[in-house]
Amino acid sequence: MQWLNYHHLLYFWTVVREGGVSAAARVLHVAQPTISAQLKTLEDQLGEPLLVRAGRGVAMTEVGRTVYAYADEIFSLGREMMDTVKNGLPGRLARLRVGIADVVPKLVARQLLMPALQPPVSMQLQCREDRHDRLLADLAVHDLDLVITDHPLGPGERVRAFNHGLGDSGVSFLGTPELAERWGRDFPRSLAGGAPFLMPMETSGLRRSLDAWFETEGIRPHIVAEFEDSALLKVFGEAGAGLFCLPTIVEAAAVATRGVMVVGRTEAVRERYWAISPERRLKHPAVLAISQAAREGLGARA
């Protein structure tokens, strides 16, 4: 059996974290040639290149990203072991690394993920927010355990993973009290009079559904602004820049905490949510808890 030299792995991990060999040499208090030699030894042992030059720094190869993810977990475990033994801290919780697509409202993400924090599961969550495609890339190299998104994995995406429908919800149109007073009467026909809208980008599933609904209702929305990030869209909505949509399942929380009012609702527009996981049949206890709670709370029709 071939054993891994953890000194070599530490040098590689530090080079990536610090952004280059020279920076890593300063942190580790060793000469640059020493680090370069150790990296070469590690690559020879693994039989794959881990780093390539990128400008004045370095970038990880696909194999390098995989090795770095394992190294990060290994050294994190080491630090936690020392804290537990030396300082009497409680042992580590099992982790669930979740990627959340930036189009998923924060209130929805919270509702979906809360079951993972509660007994008997009680996982330690690590949440990362990014674009759908970038999160899938991280899932492909095992840097994430799960991706929460608003549209499923498509047939053209080269990721060995599986879609698990979490459910769907109708949408509510919200706005400041002034906007709600003006545009809330005779909904949705009132919206045809030039109501200002804050919209998600055209790449989002919600935007495509809204566009189809507007066309069916004969409404030509006055789009004030478009946003990739759902949280930024809500901030502008709370400031009175325009009307915006949220899934009806989180309407009450938004009204209670964000100073907005309901303009109207429709079940014709459905906001769907998916969990994308490497597991064809869900086995991870936290992912199972998330899926089961979502199906009960949303009524999975995805």
- What is the enclosing helix (H) or strand (E) of 98? strand 95-101
Architecture of domain 169-271: 3-Layer(aba) Sandwich (3.40)
Q: What is the mean pLDDT of residues 148-163?
A: 85
Beta-carbon contacts of residue 40 (< 8 Å; ≥ 6 apart): none
**Strand 222-227 with 196-200, pairing:** parallel
- Percentage of the chain lying above the pLDDT 70 cut: 95
Given a contact cutoff of 8 angstroms between Cβ atoms, the answer to whether 275 and 298 are in contact is: no
The reply to whether 169-271 shares the fold of 95-167+273-298 is yes
| Measured CA distances, 176 to 150, 238, 255, 257 (Å) | 26, 6, 10, 12
Given a contact cutoff of 8 angstroms between Cβ atoms, the answer to whether 141 and 66 are in contact is: yes
Which range (43-47, 192-196, 296-300) has the least confidence? 296-300
Residue 182 pLDDT grade (very low, low, confident, very high; cuts 50, 70, 90): very high
Residue type, 40: K
Other C-beta atoms within 10 Å of 46: how many? 17
Is the confidence at residue 92, as pLDDT, over 60?
Answer: no
Q: How far apart are the C-alpha atoms of 273 and 108, rounded to whole Å?
A: 9
Quickly tell me which residue has 């000194």 as its tokens: 7
pLDDT of residue 87: 62
Other C-beta atoms within 10 Å of 196: how many? 18
**197-240: pLDDT as tens digits:** 999 998 888 899 999 999 999 999 899 999 988 889 999 999 99
Q: How far apart are the C-alpha atoms of 50 and 59, rounded to whole Å?
A: 8
Beta-carbon contacts of residue 109 (< 8 Å; ≥ 6 apart): 100, 127, 148
Q: How far apart are the C-alpha atoms of 141 and 149, rounded to whole Å?
A: 18
Residue 84 pLDDT grade (very low, low, confident, very high; cuts 50, 70, 90): low
pLDDT of residue 195: 93
* Cα three-residue angle 144-247-176, rounded to 5 degrees: 120
**Domain 95-167+273-298: CATH superfamily, name plus number:** Periplasmic binding protein-like II (3.40.190.10)
Is the confidence at residue 24, as pLDDT, over 80?
Answer: yes
Architecture of domain 6-87: Orthogonal Bundle (1.10)
Is the confidence at residue 191, as pLDDT, over 50?
Answer: yes
pLDDT of residue 302: 41
Is the confidence at residue 1, as pLDDT, over 70?
Answer: no
Q: What is the mean pLDDT of residues 93-121?
A: 87
Q: How far apart are the C-alpha atoms of 16 and 69, rounded to whole Å?
A: 11
Residue 55 pLDDT grade (very low, low, confident, very high; cuts 50, 70, 90): confident
pLDDT of residue 189: 92
Domain coordinates in residue numbering, the chain? 6-87, 95-167+273-298, 169-271
Residue 282 pLDDT grade (very low, low, confident, very high; cuts 50, 70, 90): confident
The four Cα atoms 87, 90, 91, 92 give a dihedral, to 10 degrees, of -100
- Supply the mean pLDDT for the chain: 87
Q: How far apart are the C-alpha atoms of 172 and 267, rounded to whole Å?
A: 9
pLDDT of residue 151: 85
pLDDT of residue 300: 43
Which range (10-14, 65-69, 85-89, 286-290) has the least confidence? 85-89
Residue 51 pLDDT grade (very low, low, confident, very high; cuts 50, 70, 90): very high
* Cα three-residue angle 226-165-70, rounded to 5 degrees: 85
